[in-house]
Structure 1
Amino acid sequence: MLKTEEWLLIRDLYSQGFSISEISRRTGYARETVRKYLKKKTAPEPQKRPPKPSKLDPFKPYIQEKLKEGPYTAVRLYREIKEMGFDGGKTIVKDFVREVRPKQGVPAVLRYETKPGVQAQVDWAEMGTVEVDGKVKKLFCFNMILGYSRMRYVEFTLSIDTPTLIQCHLNAFEYFGGFTQEILYDNMKQVVIKRALKSSDSEWNPQFEDFFKCFGFIPRLCRPYRPQTKGKIENTVGFVKRDFFLGRRFTSLEDLNAQVHSWLEWVNSTVHGTTYQIPLERFKEEKLSPLDQVPPYKVVHKETRKVSRDCYISFLGNKYSVPYRFAGRTAELQILEGIFEVYVDYEKVCEHEILPGNCRVSRKKEHFQGLLSEILKENSKCKKDSQIPLKFSDPEVEKRSLDVYEIFSEGGFE
């Protein structure tokens, strides 16, 4: 097809009186071509070339279906199709996702950056429900991010009470190998009971206050209704939902946390979208307070359970035996560092190591010693009580007055 300029040239030569043969010689086009384009009243429209085949073509339907399910990140979709055999680059995946993803506007914010070792941010996220021990429970996600390096820590829990919050902090500190000078929170009741205008004047949750004073970090509270104050953690929560949790399969809480730890290894080793640096590399510049300068801090978490008739309690999908004399009673579990102690009426009756996975049983023989003999005794007693002896009735004898015998002795009734 001729370009617009070439079509105009042919028409101009023809208007000057040149013959078709002369125009053909001057332009190099065949006479049939010259005649064809002289008949056209409008400039020829350029034809679009068919797009070149792309390595991404076989995977585009999969990506589009996934984006219909939820707002998956381009990075996660790249990982998934790579496992399916895609050997192209990450850029074409990002470009395609950007092209097909629905466009949404976002409000502008002013980003606040912190120096190394100064601040971390913490938040909870609700992740739906799971079934544990035959009951439907809410699933929560604890998130902590270091403000300077953007190193992340994530943990899933079944509770958001204060002991759980403290234990998640301890696990995060262990993961990072230290803690920052201050940690930013929203106004969660596990941290603050009554907020004051000045953060340090607030009425803190007593249990959490004991914790942060022991470690010496300063809790900061973000301004009410200003989530952008802790934008780093807000972005982290959303990223965890889209890049890790969405569509995830897991068999237990332990399995889910094992999966998220593997994901953390990847995400903390990947270039961050804001700093354009790898968090693990920036982490080398963090100046965290070391853990060895703080005495060991123990968190006891308490839960109640009903002891079943077969002398077991359920905890996180597994069964644990209890001495048989407490069958049917209500017990308190005190959970601490991988074990839990069982109390009935303030008496410690046993303890167990927490089993990984689910559908497992921890049975201690001593919990059932003497149970069989008691059952046999009880059965024997029931059998004995059920055997009621038979009684034979004496023949009925007519009862007479003694006066009758007096009459017989005197020869009466002749």
Structure 2
Amino acid sequence: MIRVEDWAEIRRLHRSEGLSARAVARELGISRGTVLRALASDRPPQYRRAPKGSAVDAVEPAIRELLKKTPTMPVTVIAERIGWERGLTILRERVRELRPAFLPVDPVSRTVYQPGELAQCDLWFPAVDIPLGYGQTGRPPVLVMVSGYSRMITARMLPSRTTADLIDGHWQLLSGWQAVPRTLVWDNEAGVGRGKPTTEFAALAGLLAIRIHFCRPRDPEAKGLVERANGYLETSFLPGRVFTGPDDFNGQLTAWLQVANRRRHRGIDAHPMDRWDADRSAMLALPPVAPPNWWPRTIRLGRDHYIRVDTCDYSVHPRAIGHRITVRTDTESIVVTCGDDVVARHGRCWARHQTITDPEHAAAARRLRDQARPPARTTTALSTALAKDNLGIEVEQRALGSYDRIFTLIEGGAGKDT
């Protein structure tokens, strides 16, 4: 058998140089028959080893009979039925080749997404401790969203998985896209809904004019795009990174996603950024109203002049005591208003069970307490005033020493000054 290089040279000399087969044989020092065989073949020569028999050949008819009756029979059971005493590797390979002929055809369906059709959502809990302040660390959830058509990924760490924080997280991610997919796919997350959206998320869907689709329980493949994105974040973004807090985490994550969305996605054999314009142009426009402003909390401020959000207490200016106040909360700040007056503004505390006090509120409370407290009065003047007020008579004021003499505690006896 000649080499591929010789075969190519034979064809070149004959077709390009115009040499006859005999001249080519003489030029290369090979037989004329070899030259003729090379010229007759349009494919390069390949070495093919003559097939040898396998030990499984003798029992293949028995294997076929067993698979004909039970196509799903395990290899170990087949080995037992046919009395196989050799290794299972070659038997397993032969069964793997024969089994499809006895099984019904079950092709896998490919899901194809249209531009702007949907985005899959999920919560990812990174396996790293994030400093939250006040000596505390934690592992807050990360809201991850993946567009179906372009595979564009966006994500953001949230203080909690409550409904209010999830709604604000959706709004911030969609604001970054400046567009809204027509459907959001979720599993049965308690803050979003179980089977149907919560009242707040139903209102969000109405504001965005979209549909929220809930996957069946225990069916992670229904949102495989975002599940794979979570694994991608776990293996490609997280390793080796150190974070000083949630803001630092979100900053590093945003910068990394700008690079990750320009990498080639194997599932679509394209860069997500290259398909993003077509994807976003088919989405809905972002509404001008921010949904967190729909659900402010209105309460009457007590004398304690603190409000509780999640597990932390935040001070409010004491001038609002006794008045109804409105508390607006998002993932970054807490704003309290009394009418049109802003009576508190705090950054969101991610640590748990903390008391956040504005120094201005504390100073104002001290001044108001001093103004409300009456001036101190002497005991004698106070008793005289009470006697005048209650009985309408004048009360004689004795020297304190006279009481000691009355009770014979000092010289003078009880008869003196009585």
TM-score normalised per structure 1: 0.53
SS in 2 for 1:223: coil
After the TM superposition, which of the residue ranges 335-344 and 261-270 deviates more from structure 2?
335-344
Cα displacement (A) at 1:266: 1.1
CA contact (8 A) 1:342 1:349 kept: yes
Q: Judging changes above 3 Å, is the alpha-carbon distance between structure 1 residues 343 and 127 closer, same or farther for their aligned structure 2 residues?
A: farther
1:20 counterpart residue number: none
1:262 counterpart residue number: 255
Cα displacement (A) at 1:152: 0.6
- 1:116 is aligned to 2:111: no
Q: What is the CA–CA distance in structure 1 between the aligned matches of 2:172 and 2:109, rounded to whole Å?
A: 31
RMSD: 4.7
2:181 counterpart residue number: 180
Q: What is the CA–CA distance in structure 2 between the aligned matches of 1:167 and 1:227, rounded to whole Å?
A: 25
After the TM superposition, which of the residue ranges 124-133 and 155-164 deviates more from structure 2?
124-133
1:371 counterpart residue number: 366
More strand by share: 1
Cα displacement (A) at 1:125: 1.9
2:149 counterpart residue number: 148
User: Which runs of 5 or more structure 2 residues have no equivalent in the other structure?
Assistant: 1-106, 384-398, 406-411
SS in 2 for 1:192: coil
Q: What is the CA–CA distance in structure 2 between the aligned matches of 1:166 and 1:180, rounded to whole Å?
A: 15
User: Which runs of 5 or more structure 1 residues have no equivalent in the other structure?
Assistant: 1-107, 196-202, 400-414
Aligned equivalent of 1:322, options 303, 316, 321? 316
Cα displacement (A) at 1:289: 2.6
Q: How does 1:44-123 map to 2 (within 5 A)?
A: 111-123=110-122
1:38 counterpart residue number: none
SS in 1 for 2:140: strand
Q: What is the CA–CA distance in structure 2 between the aligned matches of 1:273 and 1:235, rounded to whole Å?
A: 12
Superposed CA offset, 1:10-32 (max 9, x none)? xxxxxxxxxxxxxxxxxxxxxxx
Q: Judging changes above 3 Å, is the alpha-carbon distance between structure 1 residues 191 and 321 closer, same or farther for their aligned structure 2 residues?
A: closer
Q: How does 1:269-308 map to 2 (within 5 A)?
A: 269-286=262-279, 287-292=281-286, 294-300=287-293
- 1:391 is aligned to 2:400: yes
- 1:132 is aligned to 2:132: yes
2:41 counterpart residue number: none
- 1:227 is aligned to 2:220: yes
CA contact (8 A) 2:165 2:331 kept: no
Cα displacement (A) at 1:150: 0.8
Q: What is the CA–CA distance in structure 2 between the aligned matches of 1:177 and 1:276, rounded to whole Å?
A: 25
Identity among equivalent positions (%) equals 21
After the TM superposition, which of the residue ranges 269-278 and 141-150 deviates more from structure 2?
269-278
Q: What is the CA–CA distance in structure 2 between the aligned matches of 1:140 and 1:230, rounded to whole Å?
A: 18
CA contact (8 A) 1:339 1:351 kept: no
Cα displacement (A) at 1:165: 1.6
Cα displacement (A) at 1:398: 4.9
Cα displacement (A) at 1:295: 4.5
SS in 2 for 1:284: helix
Residue identity in the other structure for 1:112: T
TM-score normalised per structure 2: 0.53
Q: What is the CA–CA distance in structure 1 between the aligned matches of 2:153 and 2:336, rounded to whole Å?
A: 35
- 1:211 is aligned to 2:204: yes
Q: What is the CA–CA distance in structure 2 between the aligned matches of 1:204 and 1:355, rounded to whole Å?
A: 26
Q: Judging changes above 3 Å, is the alpha-carbon distance between structure 1 residues 275 and 362 closer, same or farther for their aligned structure 2 residues?
A: farther
Residue identity in the other structure for 1:132: L
Cα displacement (A) at 1:334: 2.6
Superposed CA offset, 1:269-328 (max 9, x none)? 222232232111111221333425x34132157799xx9x99888989x9975335799x
After the TM superposition, which of the residue ranges 127-136 and 204-213 deviates more from structure 2?
127-136
Q: What is the CA–CA distance in structure 2 between the aligned matches of 1:298 and 1:380, rounded to whole Å?
A: 51
CA contact (8 A) 2:307 2:316 kept: yes
SS in 2 for 1:238: helix
CA contact (8 A) 1:341 1:348 kept: no
Cα displacement (A) at 1:140: 0.3
1:200 counterpart residue number: none
